Amino acid sequence: MKAHPWMANSGGSAKEEMLAALGVKDIEELFVQIPEDHRMERPLDLPPQLASEVALSRHLDDLMGKNMVFEQSACFRGAGAWPHYVPAICDEVVGRYEWQTSVFGSPTSDHGRNQAWFEFTSQIGALVELDFVGLPVYSWGCAVGHGVRMAARMTGRRKVVVPEVMDPERRMVLETYCEPTEMARHIQIATVKVGADGCIDRADLKAKLDGAGALYFETPGYHGVIDADPGELCALAREAGAEAIVGVDPLSLGLLEAPGAYGATIAVGPTQPLGVHMYAGGGVGGFIASLDDERYAHEYNTLNVSISETREPGELGFGLALFHQTSYGMREEGKDWTGNSVYLWALANATYMSALGPEGFAEIGRLIMARSTATAQALDALDGVSVDLSRPVFKEFVATFDKPVSQVNAALRAKGLLGPKDLTGEPGVSGNAALFCVTEVHTKTDIDQLVAAVKEALA
Amino acid sequence: MTASLKNYLENSNGYHAAKWSEPVVMEMTGTGRRGVVFEDAPAPKLPGKAARKNAPVLPEVTEHDALRHYLHLSQMTLGMMGVSLFGTCTMKYNPRIGERATSEHLKKLHPLQEAETLQGVLELYDNFSDFLCEVSGMDQFIFQAGGGADAAYTHACLTRAYHASRGELQQRDQIITTIQTHPCSPATANTAGFEVITLSLEENGYPSIEQLKSVVGPRTAALMVNNPDDMGIYNPDIKEWVKIVHEAGGLCFYDHANFNGVMSRLRARELGFDACMFMLHKTFGAPKGGGGPAVGAYGCAEHLVPFLPAPVVKKDGDSYVLDEDRPQSIGRVREFWGNAPQVMKAYAWARAMGAEGLREAADISVLANNYMDWRLGKTKGVSRSNPGIDAPRMEMTRHSVDQVTQDTGCTVFEISNRMTDFGIDALWLSHEPWLVPEPFTPEAGELWSKEDIDYWIDVLEHVIAEAYEDADLVKTAPHNGPIKALTSALDEPSVWATTWRAYERKHPSKIAAE
């Protein structure tokens, strides 16, 4: 066998030298712990080795050539992964071999990475105006799940109220986290009505909050609708003794009020919009933030990085706080579990937030809102499409067609466009409903092309 | 390759980390500078009280400043730039071809695209599932779990669904594990709602069959274990264990975190396990990213396939579909169908290795670990876990510097910090609870050269000699790092600050002093 480029000791005399040091002739002697009857009886039957990078690269290119790739400007689909612009510096930062290949290290030897983590949590804290932020979890849905479980432990109440209009992907993750009814610690998920205006029905909420440990809602919601008074929802939750958990799109926070400012006790949201590509769903991540109170801090399952002093006066470092309460510290007694998450993406997020700054967040918020609203208006003006223009929306909105959504999307695809998500049959919509996503990547020309293609599809 | 320690000490001033005086980015504010600008759009009319009152307090830096700041921070990250034998994590080369291919082919794909537009990536998923099925003997792999712990959680959730389908979930409320199994197994079993029973180690280095039998019964839902454990000890009774748990009606899950040494020699399904998990960011060469994005590839035998999280990639004639119509599915453990870039990187690694490469990697890993054992056995003050067990260990071994600590007062933390002064990544010590005092757990793997491994051991020997000669030098380490050792009590509510906002509020005098 040729020396393999990724295995130093596969070439030269290293193996012989090590065997000689051990006084071992046959490498099999080192595997005596594995009993004979545990062993596989034949060699592995796998596709041929592609040790040549030329061959491997070609194989991957050939395989991936079978995908249909839509430019972000031609992608009008969101719902959990969104076509946003990723500044080139974000790609450069996450591509750095030093931290891309790092594993755990120590606060001193991996100081730079730990500082960047702290800058992620600090900037999320600034956006949501909450003082305690953990390192990110796998996804927004997982952040909701952990947030709800935190609230259940804090309040001792095993019930969460969520709006009937909720992204089914996130809802399914939450259901998993809330455990089936057979389990003693099952958390009941109660659903609150959403009115014709796309906002939570206040009267129904008051009734549903009885005995709840948490209210979870989003603004903008799954259908893009901005609630006029999210603070009222938080107040109702808190009056009922429940935690107010609010899900937010961080890109809306240059325009929309910070959840910490209107009474959210826990805020969660997606991190992919902050400088991470969609990667077929591999770009998703979620954050959890809360009041900086022991009651909350002691329920985090995440790793938490804190600023610290060092032996050198005036010098700052960044170490883990409250490590012992994690599953690494306490196994099954720890808070849920922690493990590998999406920490590399947190570095893209930190870079993104620092490059945007306060004015960048305001600008991108205005741009997204202007373009999504303009698209909604243009679509509503077409025959066979209707959009409820009385709803204030951010980035995403619902349109209803007089033809099946799949048929419209097939026609759009033929023109190289990735059309809206099909909502047909989901709660809170009727007929052939679809969820459009319009962001800062979509120019007026792109929007015109979309509208023309929809018009043609419905003709 | 690293120059040998002898030359290193004689011919140079030794390693020193990059040390930039880089402020916290939150301090770079109030400048009016911009890093990214967008086109202007009119201010929208927002309903009611929806509008933000105060702009977020974020940095104001140029694009160059933002880039330079984060590049400086990356330079102050040692990671694998020196030598990292971080045990249990199987430090491998993370091939750059994977980075390029994912950037070129995957970054623009939307997870909710219609399957007919995703045929390439779905074929890759199916190919890799087949690959891992051959390696493990399982019938189907899925990649939704965002890490190894998430795959353990997936198993705990499947366990619920499997027993619920048989009407036995209320009765079967216990999951059995061992104290040497990774904390993610008991933690996720507990999160999924089960009571956890933990078996303790006995004189052979693993729990006895009798101990297992004493806890197995009608309440047993599953067994979740790894093998070999982090001490490099293989439990030869594992087939019998699986049989005992199966006879009681429980499922058996094999956490294959420590797969490198047994790779190509045994298959989880042939040992009787119902399901197993591989960490693609460890055994299969995808980068760790300092903690993800990662993938816990979860595989199971046919009788558990109906319960897998959806969607599952399936071949349907000549094309591939994302099968969502799975009435017995547990639903989702995470949105969508997994970290596709990591799956692609792992697939690329696996194809470049092939069957002969996997065997070679396993051989080299176990050989290199035994070579390390042999050298460390001659190192002053170092002892090995389970000293009575003579059989060669698998791909890693737990050692201890307890004697050094007793003689010099230098702890394993301090020795690890001092080793970073020579460009060695901080050591992996042990999961909690420490069964061995002052532990450390190196894992040589197949990447590192014999010279790298010798350098690592030379540095440890050198640092131990320093401990005996000048303990203070070791206790005050690191000296060549970007910063000195941390001193704050970060578990104190009045001290910890996980955001700059909290720091400003709790420590105003320190900010004023800057």
- Which pLDDT score is estimated for B292? 95
| CB-based burial label for A339 (10 Å; 0-12, 13-18, 19+) | buried
Mean pLDDT of B382-401: 94
Answer yes or no: do A131 and B502 touch at CB < 8 A.
yes
φ and ψ at B68, to 5 degrees?
A: -60, -40
- Tell whether A44 is within 8 A of chain B (Cβ): yes
Task: Name the residue in chain A with its Cα closest to that of B71.
Answer: A93
**Residue owning tokens 């975190």:** B257
Q: Sign of the CA dihedral A225, B55, A266, B310?
A: positive
Distance CA B305, CA B299 (A): 9
Q: Which of A289-298, B2-11, B209-218, B301-310 has the lowest mean pLDDT?
A: B2-11
Using CB atoms, pick whichever of A33, A61, A185 lies closest to residue B236: A33
Distance CA B40, CA B47 (A): 21
Q: How far is CA B269 from the centre of its chain?
A: 23
* pLDDT score of B6 more than 80: no
- Tell whether A382 is within 8 A of chain B (Cβ): no
Residues of A in contact with B230 (CB under 8 A): none
Percent of chain A with pLDDT over 90: 100
- Which pLDDT score is estimated for B130? 98
Using CB atoms, pick whichever of B150, B186, B355 lies closest to residue A44: B355
Distance CA B188, CA B376 (A): 35
In one-letter notation, the amino acid at residue A237 is A
- Which pLDDT score is estimated for B512? 73
Domain ranges of chain B: 96-352
Using CB atoms, pick whichever of A86, A278, A281 lies closest to residue B338: A281
* pLDDT score of B121 more than 70: yes
Would you place residue A1 in the very low, low, confident or very high pLDDT band (cuts 50, 70, 90)? confident
With a CB cutoff of 8 Å and minimum separation 6, the contacts of B257 are B88, B148, B182, B226, B277, B279, B282
- Tell whether A54 is within 8 A of chain B (Cβ): no
Q: State chain A's maximal CA–CA distance in angstroms.
A: 84
Mean pLDDT of A157-164: 98
Using CB atoms, pick whichever of A87, A108, A124 lies closest to residue B483: A108
Tokens of A303: 């790793």
Q: Evaluate whether A76 touches A417 at the Cβ level (below 8 Å).
A: yes
Give chain B's mean pLDDT: 96
Mean pLDDT of B237-258: 98
Distance CA B311, CA A163 (A): 24
Answer yes or no: do B50 and A227 touch at CB < 8 A.
yes
Residues of B in contact with A80 (CB under 8 A): 111-112, 335-336
Q: Between residues 233 and 252 of chain A, which touch chain B (CB distance below 8 Å)? A: none
**What's A265-306 look like in SS3?**
CEEEEECCCCCCCCHHHCCCCEEEEECCCHHHHCCCCCCEEE
* pLDDT score of B8 more than 90: no
Tokens of A293: 């109170």
In one-letter notation, the amino acid at residue A380 is D
Tell me the nearest-neighbour CA distance from B276 into chain A, angstroms. Answer: 16
Percent of chain B with pLDDT over 70: 97
Task: Name the residue in chain A with its Cα closest to that of B29.
Answer: A357
Tokens of B122: 């779905």
- Tell whether A26 is within 8 A of chain B (Cβ): no
pLDDT in tens, A348-367: 999 999 999 999 999 999 99
Task: Name the residue in chain A with its Cα closest to that of B377.
Answer: A22
Using CB atoms, pick whichever of B157, B336, B500 lies closest to residue A169: B336
Residues of B in contact with A133 (CB under 8 A): 498-499
Domains, chain A: 72-85+357-458 (3.90.1150.10), 88-352 (3.40.640.10)
* pLDDT score of B10 more than 70: no
For chain B, how many residues are written? 514
- Tell whether A51 is within 8 A of chain B (Cβ): yes
Distance CA A421, CA A223 (A): 11
- Alpha-carbon distance values, A38 to A317, B269, B271, B431 (Å): 49, 11, 6, 27
Q: Between residues 415 and 434 of chain A, which touch chain B (CB distance below 8 Å)? A: 418, 421
Q: Evaluate whether B36 touches A353 at the Cβ level (below 8 Å).
A: no
Using CB atoms, pick whichever of A112, A139, A227 lies closest to residue B74: A112
Tokens of B326: 């799975």
pLDDT in tens, A165-200: 999 999 999 999 999 999 999 999 999 999 999 999
- Sheet containing A286-290, strands listed edge to edge, beginning at the edge strand earlier in sequence: A132-133, A286-290, A266-270, A243-247, A214-218, A159-163, A188-192
* pLDDT score of B57 more than 80: yes
Query: Which residue intervals of A23-166 are DSSP H helices?
Result: 53-64, 88-94, 97-100, 111-128, 140-155
Q: Sign of the CA dihedral B402, B404, B409, B413?
A: negative
Helix axes B63-75, A111-128, angle to 10 degrees: 140
With a CB cutoff of 8 Å and minimum separation 6, the contacts of B37 are A360, A363
Answer yes or no: do B66 and A354 touch at CB < 8 A.
yes
Would you place residue A341 in the very low, low, confident or very high pLDDT band (cuts 50, 70, 90)? very high
Q: Which fold has domain B96-352?
A: Aspartate Aminotransferase; domain 2 (3.40.640)
Helix axes B96-105, A53-64, angle to 10 degrees: 20
Q: Sign of the CA dihedral A40, B178, A33, B288?
A: positive
Mean pLDDT of B390-418: 97
Of B203 and B272, more confident:
B272
Residue B142 pairs in a beta bridge with: B298
Would you place residue B14 in the very low, low, confident or very high pLDDT band (cuts 50, 70, 90)? confident
Task: Name the residue in chain A with its Cα closest to that of B418.
Answer: A109
pLDDT in tens, A194-232: 999 999 999 999 999 999 999 999 999 999 999 999 999
Q: Could you tell me if residue A208 is left (phi over 0), alpha (psi between -120 and 50 degrees) or otherwise beta?
A: alpha
* pLDDT score of B89 more than 60: yes
- Which pLDDT score is estimated for A286? 98
Tell me the nearest-neighbour CA distance from A136 into chain B, angstroms. Answer: 10
Task: Name the residue in chain A with its Cα closest to that of B452.
Answer: A8
Q: Evaluate whether A358 touches B58 at the Cβ level (below 8 Å).
A: yes
| CB-based burial label for B302 (10 Å; 0-12, 13-18, 19+) | exposed
Residue B222 pairs in a beta bridge with: B175, B251
| A32-55 burial: b if 16+ Cβ within 10 Å, else e | ebbeeebeeeeebebeebbbeeee
Tell me the nearest-neighbour CA distance from A162 into chain B, angstroms. Answer: 18
* pLDDT score of A117 more than 90: yes
- Which pLDDT score is estimated for A186? 97
Answer yes or no: do B50 and A322 touch at CB < 8 A.
no
Would you place residue B511 in the very low, low, confident or very high pLDDT band (cuts 50, 70, 90)? confident
- Which pLDDT score is estimated for B514? 62
- Tell whether A108 is within 8 A of chain B (Cβ): yes
Answer yes or no: do B498 and A59 touch at CB < 8 A.
no
Task: Name the residue in chain A with its Cα closest to that of B47.
Answer: A228
Answer yes or no: do B79 and A101 touch at CB < 8 A.
yes
Using CB atoms, pick whichever of A7, A179, A226 lies closest to residue B360: A7
Q: Evaluate whether A290 touches A132 at the Cβ level (below 8 Å).
A: yes
Answer yes or no: do A103 and B353 touch at CB < 8 A.
no
Distance CA B254, CA B263 (A): 13
Q: Evaluate whether B284 touches B256 at the Cβ level (below 8 Å).
A: no
The secondary element (H helix, E strand) that includes residue B313 is strand B312-316
Residue A266 pairs in a beta bridge with: A245, A290
Distance CA B446, CA A41 (A): 24
- Which pLDDT score is estimated for B314? 97
Q: Residue B177: name the closest of B212, B118, B224 by CA.
A: B224
For chain A, how many residues are written? 459
Q: Is the ipTM of this complex over 0.95?
A: yes
Mean pLDDT of B299-308: 98
| CB-based burial label for A192 (10 Å; 0-12, 13-18, 19+) | buried
φ and ψ at A45, to 5 degrees?
A: -105, 90
Distance CA A25, CA B352 (A): 28
